[in-house]
């Protein structure tokens, strides 16, 4: 069931399934960003979890001091009560679906029309925190397109509600299957020391080279690069650059340092390269970030 041209072209869709009597789902949404948008501010979903599926493009999520870089086909899950956002990065160009699933204990014990015992098992499996970022399946896009299209079909009867619940359950089972086959959790633990090394040497590019990072990981440079990209969705050099740009934004906003000073302190080869990289990743120039920081500091003193 492909999307209609109107839905396919929609920039943003947010649906409240409770209006159809589907109490288990707080929100089902889709964005289609043709340009980068402002950052997603930190937030949480209470006693609910959020599953995001990136159809196309890239997107960064930040949670617990760690950045997760999604590429097309990736799934990202934030669990109940977890505070997350994009960590200062913009909402990038691309197409992304998200679905917020409520704890069945808050909705009478049933999840998407399943029996209470089945609901408890499904909820328990979904909210296991062993893996939160992994590659999905091609069928997930088809399922999510079908769910979105079905929401917009005429009618509010029992048959429509049942069909939607069945589609969503099938999607959740696919998420569980993809997560079970993923090694992302193991990769995150294996590369924890590498990420710590990167964060500890943001002002020293010589410590962020492929040779140094692969040595920290105990792998050959080619093997390290391949595994890192598989685990994190981007090459290690791009990951390190994103960390440096995020730190640059923090310094511009919080310390009042000049653009030139920040670029120099973080070891960028030229101000032009720094400005170009900053604009690409933050959707604003370094001077715009500095001005926003100045306004925030001024406002907070009133």
**Residue-level pLDDT, tens digit, the chain, 302 residues:** 678 999 999 999 999 998 888 999 999 999 999 999 999 999 999 999 999 999 999 999 999 888 999 999 999 999 999 999 999 899 999 999 999 999 999 888 899 989 999 999 999 999 988 789 988 988 899 999 999 999 988 777 888 899 999 999 999 999 998 888 775 555 566 678 898 899 999 999 999 999 999 999 888 999 899 888 877 778 999 999 999 998 998 888 888 788 999 999 999 999 899 999 999 888 889 998 888 765 444 333 22
Cβ neighbours around 24 below 10 Å, total: 25
Query: Which CATH code fits 5-182?
Result: 2.60.120.280
125 touches 79 (CB < 8 A): no
Q: Name the architecture of domain 186-300.
A: Orthogonal Bundle (1.10)
Measured CA to CA, the distance from residue 61 to residue 85 in angstroms comes to: 6
What pLDDT score was predicted for residue 37? 92
Measured CA to CA, the distance from residue 142 to residue 160 in angstroms comes to: 18
23 touches 108 (CB < 8 A): yes
61 touches 117 (CB < 8 A): no
What pLDDT score was predicted for residue 153? 83
Helix, strand, or coil here: 258?
coil
Beta-strand (E) ranges in the chain?
Answer: 12-15, 25-33, 37-39, 48-63, 66-71, 74-78, 84-85, 90-91, 94-102, 133-135
What pLDDT score was predicted for residue 301? 29
Measured CA to CA, the distance from residue 281 to residue 114 in angstroms comes to: 43
What pLDDT score was predicted for residue 189? 62
What pLDDT score was predicted for residue 129? 80
What pLDDT score was predicted for residue 296? 43
What pLDDT score was predicted for residue 191? 79
What pLDDT score was predicted for residue 298? 37
For the chain, the structural domain boundaries read: 5-182, 186-300
Helix, strand, or coil here: 157?
coil
């Amino acid at each position: 069931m492909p999307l209609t041209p109107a839905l396919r072209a929609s920039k943003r869709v947010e649906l409240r399934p409770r209006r159809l009597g589907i109490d288990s789902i707080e929100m089902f949404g889709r964005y289609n960003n043709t340009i980068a948008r402002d950052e997603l501010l930190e937030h949480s979903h209470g006693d609910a979890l959020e599953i995001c599926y990136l159809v196309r493009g890239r997107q960064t999520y930040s949670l617990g001091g760690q950045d997760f870089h999604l590429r097309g086909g990736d799934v990202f899950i934030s669990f109940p009560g977890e505070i997350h956002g994009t960590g200062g990065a913009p909402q990038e160009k691309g197409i992304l679906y998200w679905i917020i699933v409520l704890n069945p204990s808050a909705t009478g014990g049933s999840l998407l029309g399943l029996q209470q015992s089945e609901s408890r098992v499904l909820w328990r499996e979904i909210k296991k925190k062993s893996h939160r970022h992994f590659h999905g399946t091609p069928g997930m896009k088809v399922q999510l397109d079908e769910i979105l299209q079905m929401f917009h079909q005429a009618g509010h009867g029992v048959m429509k509600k049942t069909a939607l619940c069945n589609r969503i359950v099938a999607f959740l089972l696919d998420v569980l299957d993809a997560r079970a086959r993923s090694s992302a959790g193991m990769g995150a633990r294996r590369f924890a020391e590498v990420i710590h090394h990167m964060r500890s040497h943001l002002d020293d590019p010589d410590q962020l080279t492929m040779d140094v990072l692969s040595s920290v990981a105990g792998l050959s440079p080619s093997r390290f690069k391949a595994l890192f990209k598989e685990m994190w969705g981007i090459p290690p050099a791009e990951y390190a650059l994103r960390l440096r740009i995020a730190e640059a934004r923090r310094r511009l906003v919080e310390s009042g340092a000049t653009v030139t000073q920040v670029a120099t302190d973080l070891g960028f080869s030229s101000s032009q390269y720094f400005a170009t990289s900053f604009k690409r990743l933050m959707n604003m120039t370094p001077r715009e970030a500095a001005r926003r920081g100045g306004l925030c500091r001024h406002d907070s003193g009133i």
